[in-house]
A and B are shown apart, each in its own frame.
Chain A
């Protein structure tokens, strides 16, 4: 039941807002916040009371003749993603509180709809249901980006749409093929059935799923939609994309690709891993010279996703556990960083590092939050970024020491672009643009404080998270390395 509630709460909130069109903007903001907070409370309840022994599962017939079910289940991996979604959406909603948007109700309605779909993705036990939610999650974000984005948004978001549709096509073919071969849509049953597939079909399945998920994350060379979309979209949409939607790709790799195509993985996993690591270095090198902070963070996200993909593809316990932890860490940090960019843009009307500088002199509080979140993204020990990155690199290293060493360059390059961003925006002399910069307050603190707190808490107590996912990851690994 819990699983269903997690989808229903944001869905009902979304519908309610849709029906309330034309009412007071303030009311709809509060409804959205309240809905997401209730959802957070339920997610938190699930997280705290979770016991890896008892699987939470529900199953309704959806398309009976085809044996396709509305089948949801929560294991440790799902739970972690539920917790992340439950934690981030209220913050995303709150981050918009200071600003007004045209068609306010639709705006929030779409955010909540995306949340409902995300919850579905992370709990789906039926491959068609997974596919369904996977597609549905994109639609509201697409509209958010296109309608409330910048001048170029329609063109750019269309590119994203085409891109991801293209990926979905691959996935659909793979899903249908699997379904026909195995005569079941139950993911758990498919795991067993997949073992009997020929190596050729496994290889094809591997690439079909890999391309689909690689576009979503994104992984090189399927990334060109991402920097433009991230920088042109309204911040809430960028946060949803980078914080949550990109994680569907990594989740898909873990839940679908690895156990369904283990032979494909052992044949081509290394190539995909090399691609991911090239993307990691490539994205980091580009980030070094970016002057638009939003683009800089977009490229840094791209780089981080590459490492997560590589870690998962290593097929090691460290790599997957690291990827899971890093998904949470990166999701939280990306939302925090994009919000800080929003704060800067709101006060100075620019995102150009050449125009900023000296902000720290006006903003003791913002400086602390920014510093903590930045340290999280450069993976300083005792922040959330470290444990994930450490385990990811260890996973890649265990698979191939050379690749591990090259991927390790991320700790140097990450420091280069992040410290540069910090230096050019916060430090140095103030100028005409930044001299009146006011410190964060009210809802801004309400967003940044929980983020900064979690950056530290996750870094100090990562075992809280690792222990939840380890049994589930181990059972997946048994399918990959029988």
Chain B
């Protein structure tokens, strides 16, 4: 068996051990099993990387033939190339850190072993998603991560509200999945295969703007909207914060939600053939980035702020993809995985220290109390705000530069969004860590720094949030863009169909200017945040006192309520209408008419049932059988034969 097959197998085994052995395996063992499985996958990834770099050719492995129908052959098979290997590093690397963190965070939870099992199952699904060599294996992972997301959001299943959030996530994802599925059907219809290599090879023969391709890419993008929480399918992600914080970090920030971006980059040749779809993707990205950022400004739950920030950052990634800067979008996936995982884990550490409190109005002054958490959180905050030289600066700036080249209005909006990002993140930081403590006396008494199993992952992620951006230096720095060079082979198809693809037209002077503007904008936003919230000067008011526009935004523009009114309630009413009116008065009335005709017969059978002994019953069965089988068949035939005159 190839080492590559083992990469997803380890977490699957981990899941089976911890899942089946839940409550039998002691917690001291369940944790190491979960972390170990993830770590082994990481090691497998390293080995796979060395194999890949030997030839730089995609490695294809067919595990078994999965579905065969006529000429359609769907294999359960893997493809390791430059794109999937980076995803593997992110998933298993960040994944291992988060597994480790969970050992501390979930230690006292009664469902500890189950939690570890689910995390491993998630890892398995996520690995399938990125390792699959065809769209169906991607779809297995795609739905699998949706299931794990559901299981983990509703992990504390006694709480009905959490359960509702979990269902909402699953169902909204399913809406996207239907789009994905239709996209797959169209791919099969037009290319006769689902294997990437075959589909992309055949796609090279098509011309840019082909309507079939626009349909395919459009439907695939619906899938991406669901999984990656873009307008209009984003509302599940903030609710998903009901899950334990390591879940928010791993699934709802670093890995699963970036699946949509992975999917588009994987299909880059198809999207390059469909500029109309790309334009749509870009605008959805911009709209989501800005819209979610405005909501983030007014949230008071530490995890909710981060959740909206994730939605917003995902918008930036799609913006990058939409302007054909696939690598820039992907670059942001990587850096975002570092600093957002860091921010969530640090937030978890804060919540842990605060005895479960998540409202930043009840925090303040934590800087000196939980130093490691505070410093790492600050690094994450600076990184996401796009301040040089931390990771977020490089990736976001690269997206903005491409957006500037594409459409100036889009760039202005993106810049405003990025200012808001810096503002609300520092607002969050100042309210949480500066000023004086605003929680209860009891909470203050319990304040403590988290155990090493939690702080070590924070420190590792902080380092990556700091230096992660160096893999993609801007051209003006005269340093190599390692990421772009590495990813080059996966755009071979895009280059074949669009000779201009990948040309970098930004002039150096423009690039300097853009960098200056975005850095300046970020610093201004931070300064404003400091003047308003530094030292926790203005603590946001209680919910009941929020009024006006702010109230509308605080309540997320009432989008959930709107969806409820437009979709959920009508379906429920329809359901009731069917049950109460259609079923009894429509279909059944007709039948009852027929029923009345044979009412006399009915009385007869009823009498039989009342007094029937076993034998009587059996005699009847045999009787009817004989009548039906022989008499009816024979006599009816004879009659009809006589009637039509056949001998």
- Give A contacts to B, CB under 8 Å: 18, 21, 63, 66, 68, 103, 105-106, 109-110, 113, 128, 131-132, 135-136, 139-140, 143, 146-147, 154, 158-159, 161-163, 166, 172, 176, 179-180, 220-221, 223-225, 227, 282, 285-286, 288-290, 317-318, 321, 358, 360-361, 364, 368, 375, 380-382, 387, 390-391, 393-394, 397-398, 401, 404-405, 408-409, 411-412, 415-416, 419-420, 423, 426-429, 461-463, 466-467, 470
Contacts and interface: CB of A to CB of B under 8 A. Distances in A.
The 5 A-B pairs at the shortest CB distance, nearest first, are namely A289-B575, A381-B140, A427-B157, A106-B614, A132-B629
Nearest to B185: A397
A154 to B, nearest CB: 6
Contacts of B167: 416, 419-420, 423
B578 interface: yes
A77 B61 CA distance: 33
A146 B641 CA distance: 37
B178 interface: yes
B634 A176 contact: no
Interface in B1-55: 19, 22-23
Q: Chain B, interface size: which category?
A: 35 or more
A180 B158 contact: no
Interface string B580-593: 00110011101100
A427 B68 contact: no
Contacts of A412: 171, 174-175, 178
Contacts of B605: 154, 158, 161
A163 B164 CA distance: 40
Nearest to B182: A405
Contacts of B574: 285
Given A147-B609, A172-B636, A140 B621 contact: yes
A428 B157 contact: yes
Residue of B69, B72, B586 most packed against chain A (CB within 10 A): B69
7 contacts: A68-B633, A139-B625, A147-B612, A285-B571, A391-B69, A463-B66, A467-B68
Nearest to B110: A361
Contacts of B576: 289
Interface stretch (B201-209, B514-522, B594-602): B594-602
B606 to A, nearest CB: 6
A368 B630 CA distance: 49
A428 B160 CA distance: 5
Given A428-B158, A428-B159, A429-B158, 6 more contacts: A66-B634, A103-B614, A106-B618, A221-B587, A401-B185, A427-B157
B552 interface: no
B178 A408 contact: yes
B617 A147 contact: yes
Contacts of B189: 397-398
A106 B70 contact: no
Given A143-B617, A158-B602, A382-B140, A317 B178 contact: no
B243 interface: no
B506 interface: no
A398 B71 CA distance: 14
Contacts of B528: none
Nearest to A136: B625
Nearest to B65: A463
Contacts of A288: 571-572, 575
Contacts of A467: 68
A162 B595 contact: yes
B143 interface: yes
Interface in B143-192: 143-144, 147, 150, 154, 157-160, 163-164, 167, 170-171, 174-175, 177-178, 181-182, 185, 188-189
B624 interface: yes
A176 B636 contact: yes
A416 B170 CA distance: 9
A415 B171 contact: yes
B69 A318 contact: yes
Contact of A364 (B23, B171, B177, B595): B23
Contacts of A408: 178, 181-182
A113 to B, nearest CB: 7
Nearest to A413: B571
Contact of B637 (A66, A113, A466): A66
B640 interface: yes
A338 B129 CA distance: 33
A358 B160 CA distance: 10
A394 B185 contact: yes
Nearest to A288: B575
A419 B146 CA distance: 13
B222 to A, nearest CB: 11
B144 A381 contact: yes
Contacts of B136: 381
A211 B159 CA distance: 47
B578 A286 contact: yes
B177 to A, nearest CB: 7
B503 interface: no
A285 B578 contact: yes
B69 A289 contact: no
Contacts of B413: none
Nearest to A397: B185
Given A105-B614, A360-B157, A419-B170, A466 B67 contact: yes
A317 B578 CA distance: 34
B624 to A, nearest CB: 6
B70 A317 contact: yes
A463 B72 CA distance: 12
A368 B617 CA distance: 41
Nearest to B583: A224
A364 B22 contact: yes
Contacts of B393: none
Nearest to B215: A401
B513 interface: no
B147 A375 contact: yes
Contacts of B69: 317-318, 321, 391, 466, 470
B587 A132 contact: no
B628 interface: yes
Nearest to B627: A135
Given A159-B591, A321-B69, A393-B185, A423 B163 contact: yes
B48 to A, nearest CB: 23
Contacts of B67: 387, 390-391, 462-463, 466
A391 B22 CA distance: 36
Contacts of A404: 182, 185
A33 B624 CA distance: 27
A311 to B, nearest CB: 12
B566 interface: no
A460 to B, nearest CB: 8
Contacts of A105: 614
Contact of B618 (A109, A176, A401): A109
Nearest to A282: B578
Given A361-B158, A381-B139, A428-B163, A132 B628 contact: yes
B77 to A, nearest CB: 14
Nearest to B624: A139
B90 to A, nearest CB: 23
A100 to B, nearest CB: 15
Given A132-B633, A180-B640, A286 B575 contact: yes
B628 A135 contact: yes
A128 B633 CA distance: 8
B409 interface: no
B158 A466 contact: no
A105 B618 CA distance: 11
Contacts of B541: none
Interface in B391-410: none
Contacts of A172: 632, 636
Nearest to A295: B579
B173 to A, nearest CB: 9
B306 to A, nearest CB: 26
A159 to B, nearest CB: 6
B243 to A, nearest CB: 14
Given A109-B618, A285-B578, A360-B157, A411 B181 contact: yes
